[in-house]
Amino acid sequence: MGGFRLTGAVRSVFVLFCFLISIIGAPGEQWGQITEQKAEFFAASDVADSQIELTKKWYEIAAKNWGNYGPLEFWIVGNNEVAAKTLDSKYCDIRKQKDPSIPIRHCLNRGHNFVSYAIRGNAGLNTRRNENEKWSGFIITMSAKFPGPKEEDYKSVVLHEYFHVYQHAHIHSRKRSLRESLHQQNPWWGEGGAEYMAQLLYSRQKGIRAGYLKERMERKLRSIKDLREGESIKDIPYGKRARIAYDLGAWFIAFIISKSSEEAYRVKFYKDLNSKGFEGSFVKHFGSSSKDLLDEFHNSFLKLSLEDKLKIIPSIN
C-alpha cells in the first residue's frame, strides 16, 4: 500500500484545522444556536406517563421563553432500583450510538448513575462538551423525590435545569478551563441565575398566586445568617455550604437585574459572553465590575430592611 503523506504546508493547515475543531467544534455544529430539534424523553418503566407529560410541559414553557437549545435529553427515574438499572443500560446504548468512541463499561460504572437517583432522588444536568468526546449535548435527569412530581417545586426545578442548558449553550468552547471561567466555577453565578430565572418564570404562569415570588425570595434570605463576617458569596464552593450561594446568588441576580434589566442579564450578557469574556460582558451590560457590584450587594443591599430588599422583586398578578 502506498503511504499517505502530507507535505509541510498542507500538514500545517491540517494541524491548524484540527486545532480549531478542538476549540470551536466541528463545522456545521449547531452549539449555541436555537434549534427546531425538540428534547428527547426517556423514562424508567415505573414512571407514570403523567410525570413524563408534566416534565414535557415545563420544558416546553422554558424553551418557548428562553429559546430551544440542544441536543437535549431528559431521563426520568422512578423509585424502583431494578427499573433504574435497566434505564442505565439503555442510557449507555444511546451514548454508544451517539458517540461510538465511548467505552460502554465506563458508562455503566459511572458514579452518579440512575440507580443513585432512584435511591437519593434529586435532579441534575450533565453538560457534555469537551475536547475528547465527539457528541456535545445536555442530559437532564429528573427523579421521583426531592422533588417528586406531586410537589410544586418539581415544575420550577425543570425550569431551573433548563436555564442551565441556556447558560451552557451560550459557552461555545470545548476547553474546560475556558468553559469554567465563563460560567464561573463556584455556584453563586450559575446557580443563582438558574434559580432566580426559574422562580421568576414560574411566578408568571397562569394560576400561580400573586405573592409567590416574594414569598420564595424571602425564604432564601434565611441564608444571610450563615454568611460569615466579610465573606463573599463568590467564594463559596459547591458542597456543604453551597445553599448560601444558591439562595443569595438568586438575590444577586435579582439585584443586578434591578440595576439594569432582565434583557441585559438574560439576553445581552450571554450574547457577548464568548467574545468579551465574563468580566468584559459583565461591565458592558451591568455598568460596573463584578467586584464593585458584589461589594455593594454585601455591604449595602443585604443590610437593607426586609421590606426594602423585597422592593426589587416584581409582584406578578
Which positions lie near Zn ion, rule CB under 5 A? Answer: 191, 194
Could you tell me which residues are beta bridge partners of residue 142? 76
User: For the chain, give me the number of helices (H) and strands (E)?
Assistant: 14, 4
CB of 148 to Zn ion, least distance (A): 18
* Pick 83 or 194: Cβ nearer Zn ion: 194
Give me the least distance between CB of 64 and Zn ion, in Å please: 20
CB of 147 to Zn ion, least distance (A): 13
DSSP per residue, 263-313:
HIIIIIIHHHHHHHHHHHHHHHHHSS-HHHHHHHHHHTGGGS-HHHHHTTS
240 burial class (0-12, 13-18, 19+ CB within 10 angstroms)? exposed
Quote the least distance from Cβ 114 to Zn ion, whole Å: 19
| Residue number with CB closer to Zn ion (107 or 183) | 183
**Residues forming beta bridges with residue 137, ordered by sequence position:** 128
Q: Which is nearer to Zn ion, 102 or 123 (CB)?
A: 123
Question: Min. distance of Cβ 1 from Zn ion in angstroms?
Answer: 53
Signed CA dihedral, 253, 259, 262, 266: sign only:
negative
Furthest-apart CA pair in the chain: how many Å?
Answer: 80
> Which C-beta is closer to Zn ion: that of 174 or that of 183?
183
- Residue for grid cell 449595602: 300
In three-state secondary structure terms, 134 is coil
**CA dist., res. 94 & res. 86, Å (int):** 13
107 vs 195, which CB is nearer to Zn ion? Answer: 195
Q: Cα–Cα distance between 125 and 41 in angstroms, integer?
A: 14
Cβ closer to Zn ion: 86 or 126?
126
What are the distances in angstroms from CA 238 to CA 36, 130, 153, 217?
Answer: 34, 21, 21, 21
Distance in Å, CB of 6 to Zn ion, minimum: 46
Task: Work out how close the CB of 21 gets to Zn ion at its nearest, in angstroms, rounded to a whole number.
Answer: 30
> Residue 257 CB, nearest distance to Zn ion (Å)?
18
Q: Between 191 and 247, name the residue whose CB sits nearer to Zn ion.
A: 191
Sign of CA dihedral 278, 283, 285, 290: positive
Closest to Zn ion by CB, 88 vs 191, is 191
